[in-house]
Amino acid sequence: MFRMSSQISKFRRVPLPTLRNVLRSCAIHKGAGTELIARACSVGNGTATKALIVLSDFGLVLGDGSSWTCASPMLGRASSDSAVDAAIREALLAYRPFESICEGLIAGESFDQAARHTAVAFDLNKQAEGSLSLLVQWGIELGILTNGDPVSLSDDLQAGVDSLAAMPVTSVSSTAETRLYISTLLGRDAFDELDEVDRGLIVSAVQKCDSDPAASVEASGQALEDHLREVCILNGFGQEASKFNGAGQLGGLLRQHNLIHSHHVKLIDAASMLRNAKAHKKDKQTVAPWNITPLGARTAFGATTLAIKSIHDWISNKRQIL
């Protein structure tokens, strides 16, 4: 079962302007308590508490219940409403239950289907399911979703994901668009299997293909190694895996236990070869460094995502997909 956000069942209805004002107050009054934040925003302590629970779970504020600080150093007293809203928008798009709804819409599900699948995937109880409607309302107000019947992705966000699908190598695509694009490549189940660190690495791999192909190759390789180690742990080989380094060795371990196919090992080796070539300043045979090109970075990204998707379908669904 996927990791559910710890606070979503505690979400209560809070207007977007209140979220904005509370976030700005946390940026201005660093380390302030709930009462001070409430007074600064001209709201009751209960309303401020509701907003802080949401902002904390979004990762926008840090606190222990007695003191609160904005997590973004870019926000402060002079921040415009649009700047604060942009921070909330980015956080909402990366918030896994909401992002999962967007993934469903991108995959062609109806809004009701996407919401239902999200509730099941994250094991949300009835109260937490109701909180999804809050996420949707904020998504509409922030221009992520349309206020139509049915609800759908905004034209801008849909167009951004579509442009990545046509040419998945750009440094200007937003993180949200890139994450949704990757979810369409892997499928929702395989994407959900990744932890947040590895999602971030794969996003970085896409966004740096042209601007820094060597860093892109490293990000792809690290994400693949991390994920294969997670697969080993989930299948009871964690202790053995702790003795191995690199995606290639971990792939060999999984193959040794007949958990993956020999074709998967070759995919893993392809991504590992590019990462190893990038890592060594001088090649052992030529005593000269390899120059990593954008095409090499795209190949590493493709091998990594295909390996993750194919291994997931092989283990979970007994399907052979390349």
248-267 pLDDT, tens digit each: 999 999 999 999 999 999 99
Counting the structural domains of the chain, the total is: 2
- Least-confidence region, from 13-22, 157-166, 232-241: 157-166
Cα 301 to Cα 304: distance, rounded to the nearest angstrom: 5
88 close to 135: Cβ distance less than 8 angstroms: no
pLDDT at 177: 84
- In the block, which residue shows the tokens 């046509």? 166
pLDDT of the residue at 128: 67
Give the span between the Cα atoms of 153 and 140, in whole angstroms. Answer: 9
pLDDT at 2: 39
Q: Last residue of some domain: 50, 80, 110?
A: 80
User: Is residue 13 within 8 Å of 47, Cβ to Cβ?
Assistant: no
pTM of the predicted model over 0.85: no
Separation CA 247–CA 143 (nearest Å):
40
Q: Cα(281)–Cα(277) distance, rounded to whole angstroms?
A: 8
Q: What is the pLDDT of residue 165?
A: 64
Q: Are residues 202 and 65 in the same domain?
A: no
* Same domain? 67 vs 209: no
Give the residue from 80, 97, 129 where a domain finishes. Answer: 80
Helices (H) and strands (E) in the chain, counts: 16, 2
Residue 10 clears pLDDT 80, i.e. is over it? no
Segments forming the whole domain that contains residue 50: 8-80
* Statement to judge: residues 173 and 297 lie in one domain: yes
User: Are 300 and 192 members of one domain?
Assistant: yes
Q: Are 62 and 68 spatial neighbours (Cβ–Cβ below 8 Å)?
A: yes
- Half-sphere exposure for 206 (CA within 13 Å, toward CB): 25
Domain co-membership, 26 together with 174: no
pLDDT > 70? residue 169:
no
Residue 108 pLDDT class (50, 70, 90 cuts): confident
